[in-house]
Amino acid sequence: MNNPAPSDASGHAAPLRPDRNLALELVRATEAASIRAVPFIGRGDKEGADGAAVDAMRAFMTTVSCDGTIVIGEGEKDHAPMLFNGEQVGNGRGPKCDIAVDPIDGTTLTAAGRNNALSVIAVSDHGTMLDASSVFYMDKLVTGPAGVGVVDIRLPIGENIRLLAKALGKPVDEMVVSVLHRPRHEKLIAEIREAGAGTRLMTDGDVAGGINAARYNARTDMCVGVGGSPEGIVTACAIKALGGHIQGRLWPRDDDEKQRALDAGLKVDGYVYEADELVQGNNTIFVATGVTDGGLVAGVRRDANYVYTESVVLRGVSGTLRRISSEHLVSKWL
């Protein structure tokens, strides 16, 4: 339970803020979503996997001690019956906060039985998370701490690779850059290779790609390219805890989407959102549980009467990454 709110300098009660207790409560929701998705792994039914994960996450979110608003969810209310943008979640008895959910980041990965599918929740103080839901895509650049003040998304990718390599003390030919494997990135991939770096092409799941690039001693040094706008905001919450670098530019697909962005007060035409514009402040929480195996966490595994999950919890305030390995009785989930 949350403690009573402390008083501020004026003697008034200071508002409750997301804290470590909330982080541990959220793990239960991502664990539930991951476990419910297991029957769909490798079955070619990404809608079924997503639906099962949404149902499970929503059920657990009603018990969480917070007064949360879904800023980034499954879509608008008319198209998403649960975890939709603007929905109030939690039991209403905890801190007011912004919440981003992705019951499965990597539904295609799950359906195909490939690595790096996650169940994800990110949280920040109320009113601090950019609502970029009117634009589907965002161009992103993510690195670890060495890239802070060094790289810039406005520079050519080759120059960013050389600058980061120098900051890391690595030869350029040892640099590895993660990119979603999409036709829109053919030129970008060619430029990375022309610069002398290697690529790690991701079929999906750019949240994991961004976090893996920002972690110390990770196998990749940078994550770039156009992916989902919601995933960019979620990744920013995690990067705050890792001390890394993230920038984003909204990438409207057509004039109609651009106008919707402008109507929502968003900045387009190449405007670069820095980390503190994507998510203000450092009081962020990022929670992820593996659905399938990946470089960040292991996927769900069943052995006889038990189901095993692995999760990570990142907190921006403390700059910590904690791993949580859980053992669940199968009988409790049937």
Residues flagged as binding site for substrate: 105-107, 137, 182-184, 204-206, 228
Closest CA to 222 of 212, 232, 231: 212
Q: Do the strands 67-72 and 96-105 form a parallel or antiparallel pair, or are they unpaired?
A: parallel
DSSP structural state of residue 321: E
List, as residue ranges, the binding site for Mn(2+). Answer: 50, 74, 102, 105, 231
List, as residue ranges, the binding site. Answer: 50, 74, 102, 105-107, 137, 182-184, 204-206, 228, 231
> Torsion angle of alpha carbons 200, 155, 235, 16, nearest 10°?
160
Residue 225 CB partners (closer than 8 Å, separation 6+): 139, 140, 179, 180, 182, 184, 185, 188, 206
CA–CA separation, 30 vs 91, rounded Å?
A: 17
Q: Where are the alpha helices (H) located in 243-313, listed in sequence order?
A: 255-263, 275-278
Please, are residues 27 and 55 in contact by the beta-carbon 8 Å criterion? Answer: no
Q: Do the strands 88-89 and 118-125 form a parallel or antiparallel pair, or are they unpaired?
A: unpaired
Please, are residues 226 and 216 in contact by the beta-carbon 8 Å criterion? Answer: no
